[in-house]
Structure 1
Amino acid sequence: MSTDEFDLSEPELTADDLLVLDDERFTDGDVAVVTGAASGIGRATAVALAANGLTVVGADVDEGGLDGTVDLAADVGAAGEVLPVPTDLTDDGDVAAMVDAAAERGDLRYVANVAGMQHIASLPEFPMEKYDQLLDVMLRAPFLTAKLAMPHIRATDDGVGAIGNMSSVHGRYATQDKAAYITAKHGLNGLTRAIAAEGEGTLRGFSVSVGYVLTPLMVNQIEDTAAERGISEREVVEDVMLGQARSTEMITPAEVANLFVFGFSSHASHLNGGDMLHDGGYSTTYE
């Protein structure tokens, strides 16, 4: 059964989808790093932050995808600039160069660790090379990025900034066949709290947790989950992904990006070490 029957194409992002706030630290002299910026949530977050006037270093291994993000920011009339910085998050030198590129463009204040990947397999059959790759991208790289970015944030005139981590409902509980992803997201929540503990109140750490997001990664996951569980793709969407949720639609990348915009803003000054859960009731309700 084709996923096309469910209209699972990623929605087109427009200027009307984006939360734009009046914030004194949202200027082109203030810089944000966004990883995974070539597609999905990362692309939407880079564009949303640029729409708020920030200079955004968009990092990803997919150079063509980064070019598409730059074009999208222009299409929505973003006031800020997206600077594409090709980055392999499994390469420490690349991560350091990414942070340096951001610091050279102005006051590095914000980091959105969004880059992610998925592999569907039971624990006994999970390939360790996939486990290592997934943890390198989704946990080690955010740790290293925070390590390198925190001194720059502290060096701004007031030391104000934030590091936001893309967590998940799977950072709160577990489902089958996603052991590495679940391990990474639980670890990412711990990193978020560690950042908050060391941030002295002005450098904040927070995470964003959502349910199933309509991205290219998710469409691939639907196909893999159907094959792994021996059910149809329709059953994956309606029963596995949305079965527990009170909402009946997947969240969009723009909606997730707007959470990062709010989290970085002065309106979220008391969001520190906490997690913004927007999962449609998936992990908090049941029948």
Structure 2
Amino acid sequence: MTEGTSELTAPELTRDSILVLDDKRFIADNVALVTGAASGIGRATAVALAVNGLTVIGADIDGDGLIETADIIDDLTASGLFYDVETDLTNAGDIRAVVEAATKEGTLRYVANIAGLQHIDPIAEFPVDRYDHLQDVLIRAPFLTARAAIPHIEATDDGVGAIANMSSVHGQYATQRKPAYIIAKHALNGLTRSIAAEGDGLLRSFSVSAGYVLTPLMMNQIEQTANQRNISTEAVVEDVMLGQARTKEMMTPAEVANLFVFGFSGHGRHLNGGDLLWDGGFTTTYE
């Protein structure tokens, strides 16, 4: 970490980095919808679910990034299928359309709401338009996606499925200069529990809360924080981000994607309304 941020790049997605489970519902007839599938955790999750045999619908506003995700899935000779659907998650019509597209490719059972973005400013200086945009993508879109998907999951032959939401350590506590993101992640935890409360144990919901993950979003955040605090990027990583953690390295997108694979599988059948907190001890241990 101390030699510079040039080392802070996510390793290439490989089959060895992906958790592969033998699960009776991980078949091409069953569909998983993944938002944010053009990069980072969303891309890794789309790849991991396709490698596990599911048909995956990747939704993102970045069409070129979705094509790159499709290429990775092809390179890994995944047993599942992948279809990309360019989607503006701030548009309710687009959200309804991508859910309908998912139902046309098989039995929709799984949704992974992963799309994310960030803006760093103190509350008194936070641009209202950026606040609204973050809430649209991080809260409103997952709610509308769940709203559109739930009737389809409940209408399957056994009603079994799961909706997973990408939360964060910032859904557990607050730090400075990220108010919109922190508010959204706390709200997303509430959405997760609300879905679980209405799911009767068959339609489950869970969230994933990672610490700091090597994604393009995170790399931009490192640079922005360094500029705002007038410190080096190395200091941002070592002191600001990982200073409180016991595990002194960032997670990879594949490691987070594997949590979605496990949660969707039959091994996660008692994970309902709960949170997979994988943060290296960041929120639970103190010096």
TM-score by length of 2: 0.98
The Cα of 1:5 is off from its aligned counterpart by: 4.3
Relative to structure 1, the CA distance from residue 82 to residue 12 in structure 2 (aligned partners, 3 Å threshold; closer, same or farther) is: same
Question: Which residue identity does 1:221 align to in structure 2?
Answer: Q
Alignment of 1:160-239 (within 5 A): 160-239=160-239
Post-superposition Cα deviations, 1:200-244, rounded to whole Å, max 9, x if no partner, equal 110001000010000111000001111122221111000011001
Q: 2:129 matched to 1:129?
A: yes
Equivalent residues of 1:61, 1:86 under 8 A apart:
yes
Q: In the alignment, what sits opposite 1:248?
A: 248
Structure 2 unaligned runs (5+)? Answer: none
Question: Which residue identity does 2:207 align to in structure 1?
Answer: S
Number of matched pairs: 286
The Cα of 1:10 is off from its aligned counterpart by: 2.2
Q: In the alignment, what sits opposite 2:257?
A: 257
Question: Which residue identity does 2:127 align to in structure 1?
Answer: P
Q: 2:46 matched to 1:46?
A: yes
- Alignment RMSD, CA only? 1.1
SS at match of 1:32: strand
Question: How far apart are the structure 1 equivalents of 2:5 and 2:16?
Answer: 27
Question: How far apart are the structure 2 equivalents of 1:84 and 1:191?
Answer: 26
Question: How far apart are the structure 1 equivalents of 2:245 and 2:13?
Answer: 24
The Cα of 1:30 is off from its aligned counterpart by: 0.1
Alignment of 1:267-282 (within 5 A): 267-282=267-282
Relative to structure 1, the CA distance from residue 54 to residue 228 in structure 2 (aligned partners, 3 Å threshold; closer, same or farther) is: same
Equivalent residues of 1:15, 1:77 under 8 A apart:
no
Alignment of 1:64-79 (within 5 A): 64-79=64-79
The Cα of 1:41 is off from its aligned counterpart by: 0.1
Equivalent residues of 1:3, 1:233 under 8 A apart:
no
SS at match of 1:110: strand
Identity %: 68
Question: Which residue identity does 1:183 align to in structure 2?
Answer: I
Relative to structure 1, the CA distance from residue 3 to residue 215 in structure 2 (aligned partners, 3 Å threshold; closer, same or farther) is: farther
SS at match of 2:73: helix
Question: How far apart are the structure 2 equivalents of 1:82 and 1:174?
Answer: 36
Question: Which residue identity does 1:143 align to in structure 2?
Answer: F
Relative to structure 1, the CA distance from residue 138 to residue 159 in structure 2 (aligned partners, 3 Å threshold; closer, same or farther) is: same
Equivalent residues of 1:38, 1:68 under 8 A apart:
yes
Relative to structure 1, the CA distance from residue 3 to residue 95 in structure 2 (aligned partners, 3 Å threshold; closer, same or farther) is: farther
Q: In the alignment, what sits opposite 1:60?
A: 60
Q: In the alignment, what sits opposite 1:10?
A: 10
Bigger drift between 181-190 and 231-240 goes to 231-240
Q: Following TM superposition, where does structure 1 have runs of at least 4 consecutive aligned residues deviating by more than 4 angstroms?
A: 2-6
